[in-house]
Amino acid sequence: MTLLRALADPALAGLVWPVLAAGLAIALMGAPLSVLVVLKRLSFAGQGVSHAGFAGVGLATALGLAGAAESPAHAWARLAVVLGVCLAATLGIARLTRRGAAHAHADTAIGIVLVFAMALGAMLVHLAVRAGRPAGPGWESILFGSIVAVGPADAAAAWLVAAVVLLALAAARRPLLFWAFDEPAAEAFGVPVAPMKYLLFVLVALVIVAAMKLAGVVLATAMLVLPGAAALVLSDRFSRVLLLSLAIAAACAVGGIALAFELDLPAGACIVGALAGVYAAARALAWLRAPSARPPTIAPADA
């Protein structure tokens, strides 16, 4: 069944519109952050924070909050536990990557958190199930989610998170961009660089938890990397990069969902495939334009 046919069917339209709304909300909140994540070379951070969700699911299972999706109270409590664990992982990564000889490089810190969170989640789920507690969602569900099962309440929650993320980015726009472009200079001019780093990581965690509930950690990570990476290949001016990132994320969200309806495939995986395809096309276009040119360096003048 095609997406247009489903939208035209009164019996199915009410099920499809929340899916599209949720996909667009994920694109809207992830696209602007992806530019900052790529600029700061923190693409692996999304992977680390998203995989902290495994530990959150394990903790929720140990607390007896899993396997009770029919109860809204249990579902929201489980989501709160996952969010708390992801925020703790986010702050831990930010703390470990502070400048100084005693602190780790970003990739080392993220790798430490990633493997520890996954191992902890697996152990907690195993111990909880052995103790007779109901099992939570499977690993495949955590990785790829089920965006086609999104309801109106889930879509509304996604748009609420998107509004919070966009308002925070708008409020801290100038110091955040200054820090992203040139951290040493920003610090010399009095920009609070540590709060900017914590802000970025916290916003990344919010986006990941919101997207993970709807479409899994793979899509959450992809939305925080690929739109910005593709836009930075196509342009070197910030305003254009931001618009391109938003357009790419939104088009791939809608296109991926349409492809999932057409081919009866997981929507999250289709969206990730569309994002990867756009990035590959952007690289090919840049190579055709100037095969020997270096990748463009973004210009902060119009930020």
User: 40 with 103: CB under 8 angstroms?
Assistant: no
Q: Read off the tokens for 235.
A: 């342009």
Do 7 and 17 form a contact (C-beta atoms < 8 A)?
A: yes
Q: Encode the chain (303 residues) as per-residue pLDDT tens digits.
A: 576 676 666 766 677 788 888 888 888 988 898 888 888 877 766 677 777 777 777 787 777 766 544 556 666 677 778 778 888 887 777 776 665 434 556 667 777 777 887 788 778 877 877 777 666 655 555 655 666 667 777 788 888 888 988 999 888 888 888 888 877 887 888 888 778 888 888 888 888 777 776 666 777 788 888 999 999 998 888 888 989 999 999 999 888 888 887 887 777 788 888 999 999 999 998 888 775 555 555 655 554
Q: How crowded is residue 63: how many other Cβ atoms within 10 Å of its Cβ?
A: 15
Q: Can you give the residue range of the structural domain that contains 65?
A: 3-287+295-302
Q: What is the structure's pLDDT at 71? A: 56
pLDDT for the residue 100:
47
Q: What is the pLDDT of residue 101?
A: 39
- The CATH number covering residue 89 comes to 1.10.3470.10
Burial class (CB within 10 angstroms; exposed 0-12, middle 13-18, buried 19+) of 80: middle
CA–CA dist 171, 167 (Å, integer): 6
Candidates 138, 140, 144, 137; CA nearest to 269 is 144
Tally of domains within the chain:
1
Question: Residue 116 is inside which H or E element, if any?
Answer: helix 106-130
Amino acid at 121: G
* pLDDT confidence of residue 247: 93
